[in-house]
Structure 1
Amino acid sequence: MELNTSAHIDTFPRDQLPPTDQWPELVFDAPDPPGDAPGPPYPDRLNCGAELLDRTVERFGAERPVFRTAGGEVWTYGELHDRVDRIAHVLTDELGVVPGNRVLLRGPTTPWLAACWLAVMKAGAVAVTVLAQQRPAELATMCEIARVGHALCDVRSVDDLVKAEVPGLRITAYGGDAPDDLVRLAAVKPARYTAVETSADDVALIAFTSGTTGRPKGCMHFHRDVLAIADTFSRHVLKPEPDDIFTGSPPLGFTFGLGGLVIFPMRAGASALLLEQAGPKQLLPALDRHRVSVLFTAPTAYRAMLDDIGSYDLSALRRCVSAGENLPAATWQAWYERTGVRIINGIGATELLHIFISAADEAIRPGTTGVAVPGWRARVVDAAGRPVADGEPGLLAVRGPVGCRYLADERQREYVKDGWNLTGDTYVRDPDGYFRYVARADDMIISAGYNIAGPEVEDALLRHPDVVEAAVVARADERRGQVVVAYAVLREGVSRGEGTAALLRDFAKAELAPYKCPREIVFLDALPRTPTGKLQRFRLRAVE
């Protein structure tokens, strides 16, 4: 595979791409609605920041709202355009950033963080998006892997970045009152900046896996990749409208949030409510007050909001998207009964930037993830990479316009095999093309010769009204090899005694084959999760 001529002066990102023979096969054939013909390929020269901002202003006008805050502040596309271009001038004129340099972005979810990301794109640099919750050791590791030289950081998130003691890192804060605050520096810069004519396959961002074990993997994504996720999942499944107001819980340092709160609304000329605090207790009043129409959050949050949902007006809500982990059918059904809105379930991966299997509207089947998003291919294979029969479990393999490209990491050979991305999930494909999640490949429990999918047991327990959260792992057992142990968070006021555990075991026996039922149920205040909300089963396995 031959790459276009790069616009990067700092060639580190391209130099660290895996050899092209280790890339997955890329597919560029998403239909361009309303017809069935494939859309045009992306041009060789492409800057995603200019496409999302400059071209959207040209198409929809500068006066449309783009970002909103919980406090009622509204930025128009024109105001964002001015601020982004001024920040880009600071990057190049004051900080000496050149195309290809890595710029770390850190802070709560605010319009200024989004503006910094767009400015980095327009300047031809590479955004390294991290979470505000990540600690100094984690930050130091990511900066080392990506060789980060610059950081734009919310003044409230600077301390841990300083404590990371990254050699040569130049930190520029925003949101404070220092003379060298980024906002002050930007205020005196010109309001127009000509975007760097990056190649469509120049690296635009490095997103680190939100993983739970081992050294983090940097996933390198191109300018065309940023647009491809909007032109596949968002255009064909989500189908946003210019008057939509998006919001959600995932932070911008998580690709689920970057897509759902910046890329998708801007590609459609819509707006996003950016919330610094976006837990279930903050989401419901925000949905009501701001008349939100599109929501992105995780299954746990949908379930947590159910008890209080009747106190809020959600009549503006027309689209709900769930990803990050499997959406239980019981949660889908309960949300639909309370709101009348069908949750769009989906599976994505940091390696592939966003969602690649999903379904919307009447095509949704609760309990399944959906079908391959237009522009993507998916199949289920065995350990040797051979397709398995429909109805048989195996490893999920996908390919599309975006593919895994780890930054100088030998694990590339594990994720990409025979031109397919192997996501690490066990799935079953139904004969009509629907994909059903079974478990993460390393979450399968083998007990007395039976294969047991932990998420299936979790779903059963979650159908009990007293269970708020559930996680199932294996415990070593001398006779059976492994047995099923469940960890559960109960509704407030419910006893954690053996009587409740016995009731839940009996409930599970009525829902599942006996060999799948938990031998023990352990009650916790909360389940361990990553900052992005993913369940950390490995911590529970470590206890076992």
Structure 2
Amino acid sequence: MVSAHVDTFAARNLPPREQWPEFLFDGPQLCFPEQLNCATELLDRWVERGLGDRPCVQGGGVRWTYADLQAQANRIARVLVDDLGLVPGNRVLLRGANSPMLAACWFAVVKAGGIAVGSMPLLRAKELTQIATKAEVTHALCDARLAEELALARPACPTLTKLLHFNTNEPGELDARAAAKPASFENVKTSKDDTCIIAFTSGTTGQPKGTMHFHRDVMAACATWPRHVLRPTHDDVFIGSPPLAFTFGLGGLLLFPLSVGASTVLLEKASPDVLPAAIAQYRATILFTAPTSYRAMAGLLAGHDLSSLKKCVSAGEALPAPTRALWKQASGIEMIDGIGSTELLHIFISHDEAHAKPGATGTAVPGYVACVLDDEGRELPRGKVGHLAVKGPTGCRYLADERQRNYVQNGWNLTGDAYLIDADGYFVYQARTDDMIVSGGYNIAGPEVESALLLHPKVAECGVIGVADAERGQIVKAFVVPKPGHEPDEALARELQEFVKKTIAPYKYPRAVEFRSSLPRTETGKLQRFKLRQAP
């Protein structure tokens, strides 16, 4: 099948074939037709089958059926093509909190043959500029309430020439334009190997990496972990906290429920103090959130009717055994744990409720194979700590990035996690093997926080690491050498914390600040973060 992309940017910026991982397509559920548009499979096919009146997505006072979501996505697709001149292969930045409207925008982009580029609502102009320039984003659909940072970024984004806002009644913006369009649209006949998502993840340098996923990758993710581990039905109601800009959220709160004809609840705010009441209100049956959130919610369940809740999925960071026990004691539900990555789209090692083992992530999801390798790429025996390596129907393809050579070696995806396999064959998480900090379910690159701190006029040197934290898994800790004449006190620590919050996404700020007179460095001047980690 020849690509449907008129704009060939994605194809031209894929890694060389010899740098791709080995892909496995074992079983009929992973054999896809040459012509494939995942929006057709996930949304339109239910309407075609006469099931358009089934509940599909709700939240923020909106309750849409499958037919309703299809109609809205079709109208937005017409706006993109007719009014904004989108051609297949163009990249469209999506910016907004979780909501039915954001879901409709995602489907509109994919229907039109575009490439959806999600962005976290908390990102600042600097980070948005990195994403938009790296992906050469041409169009953007942005919640009007989040317009400011994108407006600040636009002057540095020469390819971003078309922008509309939603959640506003202003004439000429997306809501008004879409309302005037017919509710029909003929989906672009994309190839299964056409890119439909560029999902960004932060590298250890703080320079974002764009992970490129095809239409078949989306459908493969729906055919593996949900089918074999989660096992949802069309009567399930999904709910949770991860943003749709995270592939954890995109899969868990949109792709997976629609793949089985179920419904989903998309909440703009889904913090631990909000979720218990929302679960009761919407009679949710499947919950997706991070271990930090489960720990915080455990003490907030009293007075809420959670009798509808059947399955709880934990991912985004390692699940501590005490958190698993605390949640089971509070809710009566055994958590489903799993590890995935943006590079592989979703979860590839997991377990179901019946096979949960405290402290262990699980076993390879059917469709994937995994092992633990030493530094030379040799498979290690059980009980030995090494590099987690994975193969399956999805895998890493970075957008024009030399770091592809690091992530993919000898056909394996190397996730950057240190694991061992225990005597029962379960994969047990040990640590990250790079400088990534995983805090409260967010991936934070230490060097990026260092760069932000170094912009402050009172900072001479700094080093940033992750330190263990009972509630958040890890927190960001900054070691700072102030410039002469500035007192290293609590007031300066607070000033630096607020400065970082305003410079990059607020969740990346250092929750702990320690002042030093010097930092450990090599003879060539390279910061020795491992010595900071060893500090008492």
The alignment partner of 2:169 has SS state of coil
For residues 500-523 of structure 1, what are the alpha-carbon distances to aligned partners after superposition, in whole Å with 9 as ceiling and x for unaligned?
xxxxxxxxxxxxxxxxxxxxxxxx
Given the alignment, which residue of 67, 89, 94 partners 1:100?
89
Matched, 1:24 2:24: no
Given the alignment, which residue of 127, 131, 145 partners 2:116?
127
- Structure 2 distance, partners of 1:256, 1:431, is 29
Deviation, 1:336, is 1.0
The alignment partner of 1:471 has SS state of strand
Aligned residue pairs, count: 467
Matched, 1:153 2:142: yes
The alignment partner of 1:388 has SS state of coil
Give ranges in structure 2 of 5+ residues lacking alignment.
437-464, 480-496, 515-528
For residues 452-504 of structure 1, what are the alpha-carbon distances to aligned partners after superposition, in whole Å with 9 as ceiling and x for unaligned?
xx99x95xx84xxxxx445389999xxxxxxxxxxxxxxxxxxxxxxxxxxxx
Paired residue for 1:279? Answer: 271
- Structure 1 distance, partners of 2:248, 2:510, is 18
Given the alignment, which residue of 12, 16, 39 partners 1:15?
12
For the 8 Å contact 2:241–2:249, the answer to whether it is kept is: yes
Matched, 1:326 2:318: yes
Given the alignment, which residue of 422, 425, 445 partners 2:417?
425
- Structure 1 distance, partners of 2:71, 2:18, is 42
Deviation, 1:268, is 0.9
Paired residue for 2:48? Answer: 58
Paired residue for 1:376? Answer: 368
Deviation, 1:15, is 0.5
Amino acid at match of 1:44: E
Amino acid at match of 2:158: P
For the 8 Å contact 1:471–1:537, the answer to whether it is kept is: no
Paired residue for 2:63? Answer: 74
The alignment partner of 1:39 has SS state of helix
Distance 1:258 1:150, change over 3 A: same
The alignment partner of 1:250 has SS state of coil
1:254-403 aligned at under 5 Å gives the runs 254-403=246-395
Deviation, 1:310, is 2.1
Deviation, 1:192, is 1.2
Deviation, 1:403, is 0.7
The alignment partner of 2:434 has SS state of helix
Paired residue for 1:471? Answer: 474
For the 8 Å contact 1:56–1:267, the answer to whether it is kept is: no
Q: TM-score if structure 2 supplies the norm length? A: 0.82
- Structure 1 distance, partners of 2:13, 2:202, is 20
Deviation, 1:62, is 0.7
- Structure 2 distance, partners of 1:180, 1:232, is 42
Distance 1:434 1:80, change over 3 A: same
- Structure 2 distance, partners of 1:375, 1:412, is 23
Distance 1:206 1:469, change over 3 A: closer
The alignment partner of 2:224 has SS state of helix
For residues 126-156 of structure 1, what are the alpha-carbon distances to aligned partners after superposition, in whole Å with 9 as ceiling and x for unaligned?
1111111100011111111000110011111
- Structure 1 distance, partners of 2:268, 2:151, is 22
Paired residue for 2:79? Answer: 90
For the 8 Å contact 1:210–1:532, the answer to whether it is kept is: no
For the 8 Å contact 1:70–1:273, the answer to whether it is kept is: no
Distance 1:147 1:39, change over 3 A: same
For the 8 Å contact 1:70–1:286, the answer to whether it is kept is: no
Deviation, 1:86, is 1.1
Paired residue for 1:39? Answer: 29
- Structure 1 distance, partners of 2:336, 2:506, is 19
- Structure 2 distance, partners of 1:417, 1:192, is 45
The alignment partner of 2:255 has SS state of helix
1:472-511 aligned at under 5 Å gives the runs none
For the 8 Å contact 1:212–1:538, the answer to whether it is kept is: no
- Structure 2 distance, partners of 1:384, 1:97, is 46
Matched, 1:117 2:68: no
Give ranges in structure 1 of 5+ residues lacking alignment.
31-37, 445-453, 463-467, 477-524
Distance 1:421 1:275, change over 3 A: same
Paired residue for 1:143? Answer: 132
Q: Determine what percentage of the aligned residue pairs are the same residue.
A: 52
Distance 1:443 1:87, change over 3 A: closer
Deviation, 1:60, is 6.2
Matched, 1:246 2:238: yes
Deviation, 1:59, is 3.9
Amino acid at match of 2:51: G
Given the alignment, which residue of 158, 166, 170 partners 1:174?
166
- Structure 1 distance, partners of 2:201, 2:327, is 29
The alignment partner of 2:333 has SS state of coil
Amino acid at match of 2:306: L
- Structure 2 distance, partners of 1:220, 1:183, is 29
For the 8 Å contact 1:372–1:378, the answer to whether it is kept is: yes
The alignment partner of 1:207 has SS state of strand
Paired residue for 1:516? Answer: none
For the 8 Å contact 2:478–2:510, the answer to whether it is kept is: no
Paired residue for 2:39? Answer: 49
Distance 1:381 1:297, change over 3 A: same
The alignment partner of 2:163 has SS state of strand
Q: TM-score if structure 1 supplies the norm length? A: 0.81
Deviation, 1:109, is 0.8
- Structure 2 distance, partners of 1:252, 1:180, is 26
Deviation, 1:430, is 2.2
For residues 395-417 of structure 1, what are the alpha-carbon distances to aligned partners after superposition, in whole Å with 9 as ceiling and x for unaligned?
00001001100000000000000
The alignment partner of 2:338 has SS state of strand
Distance 1:443 1:100, change over 3 A: closer
Amino acid at match of 2:64: W
For the 8 Å contact 2:240–2:253, the answer to whether it is kept is: yes
For residues 136-184 of structure 1, what are the alpha-carbon distances to aligned partners after superposition, in whole Å with 9 as ceiling and x for unaligned?
0111111110001100111111111111022242211111122112121
